Structure 1
Amino acid sequence: MDFHCHLDLYPDARQVYAEALQRNEFVWLVTTSPKAFAATSRVLPATQGVFISPGLHPEVADKKFGELEMLLSQIEICTGVGEVGLDGSARYSQYFDLQQHIFKSVVQRCARLGGRVLSIHSRAAAKEVLDTLEANPGFGVAVLHWFTDSPSQLRRAVESGCWFSVGPAMLETANGRKLAAAMPRDRVVPESDGPFAKVRGAPLMPWDANTVTVKLAEIWEVQQEAVLKGLRSNGLCLARLLTGGGS
């Protein structure tokens, strides 16, 4: 299972898509803009094993702001949203107010529609992400992708009911392993974040997501088989929420 993958952005996307259908039980294909969602949905059709969601990545907020209304319309007919969120790192901080406007608009729309499942980017902005979520009860379920913030913000996210998607690249870092150790094990799902995320210079593939079981077994000090079973159980639960099958 892979709960955060930019499958449409691999150079050979059709081939990767076909292989993922064979090798993955479930893939959440997140998009970076509303127009990308529309195009991807035409080229790589959603199936029982591939869920495609509309998003507007905070890194392209300045370029894609004009597509916000399109995104809000797409959310009306999709049970999942992503990738959305905030990025407070130096490279994107000049557009932070714009990012916040977009993210608040998305979360508010989700709340008005009765809730959605969101895959959320929160680099250097977990506080503001959680502020927005907590200000809009009923928004749905938040899955914090590749969470890298402080232990205190992690505790706050856990208390707020957030889920976490964890990938092999995240567990390459000491901070990533430290945060993973403190995450609620029944709210962790695997992700690849491919093709952007890499390990030893190679882009991660959708079927690489489950390799997190090896390091999570070490971090959590449990048997690998138990981690695999737990992640699959979590994944099936989240997949049902995404696909409208309930909990």
Structure 2
Amino acid sequence: MDFHCHLDLYPNAREVFAQAVEKNMFTWLVTTSPRAFSATSKVLGGHENVLITPGLHPEIVHERYIELDTLIEQIKHVAAVGEVGLDGSKRFQHSYEAQHKVFTSVVAQCANVGGRVLSIHSRQAVRDVLAVLNEHPGFGTAVLHWFTGTAAELRSASEMGCWFSIGPAAFNSASGKALAKKLPRDRVVPESDGPFAQVNGATVMPWSAGQTAELLAQAWDVPVGEVIMGLELNARRLIGLIHGAG
């Protein structure tokens, strides 16, 4: 299982895709732009256990803002959306206003069409992400990917009903390990965020859920088998929500 993966951006994408189809019960391939969604759907689409979704990554909003109208149209025809969100880090502060317009438009459209499941980027922008979601009741289900906010922000997101996708690279830092302990255990699913995420210099692959389960078991101080069962149960619930949208 992998609930957030840029499978199309691996150097050997076709090969990795074929392995993911074989090894994973489910892989959520998030795209970074509407044009990438169209191209990836043509090249890699058609497998029932791979979900390919349209997005507009906040890091490239300044380059792809013109594609927003295309994304708004695509949302009508899909059950889930991603990767979308906000990035408040210094590096992308210059485009934050545009990011906010894009994310607000996306969430509003999700509400307009009856709700979607969203894979959301929230680096140094959790409060604003949650505010936008709050402004649009009926937007659907939020999955905060690789959450790096504060403990208080995690609590706020949890109370709002957000889900969380987490992968092995999230445990690279002490703060990541501390947040993992506090995740709502009935709303956690595995992700890789490959090929961007790395552990010990190695790229995380889409079939890393077992590694994530082991790390969560350590964080939660429970048997790994219990975590594996819980993640699978959560995964099936979230997949059900995706199938119920659109």
TM-score bin, normalised by smaller chain: over 0.9
Name the structure 1 match of 2:33: 33
Q: Deviations over 1:183-204 (max 9, x none)?
A: 1100000000000000111111
Secondary structure of 1:38 counterpart? helix
Name the structure 2 match of 1:139: 139
| Counterparts of 1:46 and 1:56, CA distance in 2 | 22
Kindly state the Cα deviation for residue 172 of structure 1 after the two structures are TM-superposed: 1.7
| Counterparts of 1:235 and 1:175, CA distance in 2 | 25
| Counterparts of 1:132 and 1:30, CA distance in 2 | 21
Kindly state the Cα deviation for residue 208 of structure 1 after the two structures are TM-superposed: 1.4
8 Å Cα contact 1:46-1:52 kept in structure 2: no
Name the structure 1 match of 2:239: 239
Name the structure 1 match of 2:118: 118
* Unmatched tracts of structure 2, length 5 or more: none
Greater Cα shift, 64-73 or 201-210 = 201-210
Query: Aligned runs of 1:104-115 on 2, under 5 Å?
Result: 104-115=104-115
Name the structure 2 match of 1:64: 64
- Residue identity matched to 2:113: L
8 Å Cα contact 1:197-1:203 kept in structure 2: yes
- Residue identity matched to 1:22: E
Name the structure 1 match of 2:53: 53
Q: Deviations over 1:85-104 (max 9, x none)?
A: 00000000111000000000
Kindly state the Cα deviation for residue 45 of structure 1 after the two structures are TM-superposed: 1.0
Secondary structure of 2:168 counterpart? coil
Distance 1:245 1:100, change over 3 A: closer
| Counterparts of 2:201 and 2:234, CA distance in 1 | 29
Q: What is the TM-score of this pair, normalised by structure 2?
A: 0.98
Q: Deviations over 1:146-181 (max 9, x none)?
A: 000111111000010000000000012111111111
8 Å Cα contact 2:5-2:192 kept in structure 1: yes
Distance 1:106 1:59, change over 3 A: same
Name the structure 2 match of 1:74: 74
8 Å Cα contact 2:30-2:54 kept in structure 1: yes
Secondary structure of 1:91 counterpart? helix
8 Å Cα contact 2:84-2:119 kept in structure 1: yes
| Counterparts of 1:124 and 1:209, CA distance in 2 | 26
Runs of 4 or more, structure 1, over 2 Å off, are: 243-246
| Counterparts of 2:121 and 2:245, CA distance in 1 | 25
Kindly state the Cα deviation for residue 32 of structure 1 after the two structures are TM-superposed: 0.1
| Counterparts of 2:174 and 2:239, CA distance in 1 | 29
Name the structure 1 match of 2:43: 43
Name the structure 2 match of 1:100: 100
Kindly state the Cα deviation for residue 244 of structure 1 after the two structures are TM-superposed: 3.2
Kindly state the Cα deviation for residue 46 of structure 1 after the two structures are TM-superposed: 3.5
User: Does residue 13 in structure 1 map to residue 10 in structure 2?
Assistant: no
| Counterparts of 1:70 and 1:210, CA distance in 2 | 37
What is the aligned-residue RMSD (CA, Å)?
1.1
Secondary structure of 1:169 counterpart? helix
| Counterparts of 2:180 and 2:167, CA distance in 1 | 10
Q: What is the TM-score of this pair, normalised by structure 1?
A: 0.98
Secondary structure of 1:138 counterpart? coil
8 Å Cα contact 2:115-2:245 kept in structure 1: no
User: Does residue 173 in structure 1 map to residue 173 in structure 2?
Assistant: yes
Kindly state the Cα deviation for residue 245 of structure 1 after the two structures are TM-superposed: 7.8
Q: Deviations over 1:38-80 (max 9, x none)?
A: 0000000132210000000000000010000000000000010
How many aligned residue pairs are there?
246
Percent sequence identity over matched residues? Answer: 55
